[in-house]
Chains A and B, each alone.
Chain A
């Protein structure tokens, strides 16, 4: 397990003074049905994008709050990755995208019947958003509505 003391001095200083956006009280929905009957969507903040899509903008001040829609049958090895953060080692993720975007694993769980089904669309954001105003007002509600329209019961969130 990592702790804040594992980070570089630069990132430790940032985290020590950073005013986290917190959600209080934490919304806590109860699952509607058992997992083996649930439609599951994958959501990452790994900065993943599909071939032909525009990569995230790592230079944007405050962070890039846009998201990419990735089809459920995407070839995981062909996906691109860009991430603004230098706080984590990207070597493993680039060697195997499933480490932060486990679409292959979820397809296997669907085939095995341990989840009811995989949603038609997965979503990818890029983390390290320090100015989340537009995320809160626009892109997160829009992305959530998209998963609702896909009949999603459960979202697996993989933060990076």
Chain B
């Protein structure tokens, strides 16, 4: 995903990501990622929990306001 993120950022599209594996995210160089306390395969928390999924998305988008430098990795 970091390779896709890089292509987008270079073209002026800011990216926000979620991750369940922040130790890898920091290594590969994702610009902004919200580290979620859920198992691999559950990046937005729980199935059919729309309220939780929306809270996670809102927190991920909030990373766009941070000045950097990258990688910006914050805990949910």
Chain A positions within 8 Å of B, measured between CB atoms, are 1-4, 6-7, 15, 20-24, 26-32, 35, 41, 43, 45, 87-93, 95-96, 98-100, 102, 104-106, 108-109, 114-115, 125, 127, 132, 135-136, 140-141, 143-145, 147-148, 152-160
- Shortest C-beta distance, A7 to chain B (Å), equals 8
- Shortest C-beta distance, A28 to chain B (Å), equals 4
Give bound CA distance, A7 to B71, whole Å.
24
Q: Is the CB of B4 within 8 A of A35?
A: no
A residues in contact with B10, CB < 8 Å = 27, 29, 144
Per a CB cutoff under 8 Å, which of A1, A6, A155 touches B35? A1
Q: List 12 A-B contacts (CB under 8 A).
A: A2-B20, A23-B5, A29-B12, A35-B64, A89-B41, A93-B41, A102-B57, A105-B54, A115-B61, A155-B13, A157-B17, A159-B17
Q: Is the CB of B29 within 8 A of A23?
A: yes
Give bound CA distance, A8 to B26, whole Å.
21
B residues in contact with A98, CB < 8 Å = 44, 47, 50, 53
Q: Is the CB of B9 within 8 A of A27?
A: yes
- Shortest C-beta distance, B38 to chain A (Å), equals 7
Chain B positions within 8 Å of A, measured between CB atoms, are 1-24, 27-31, 35-48, 50, 53-54, 57-58, 60-61, 64-65, 68-71, 75
Give bound CA distance, A148 to B13, whole Å.
8
Q: Is the CB of B64 within 8 A of A104?
A: no
Give bound CA distance, A157 to B29, whole Å.
13
Q: A143 and B7 in contact (CB under 8 A), knowing A22-B29, A26-B29, A28-B69?
A: yes
Smallest CB-CB separation from A145: which chain B residue? B11
Give bound CA distance, A26 to B28, whole Å.
9
Q: Is the CB of A29 within 8 A of B48?
A: no
Q: Is the CB of B58 within 8 A of A32?
A: no
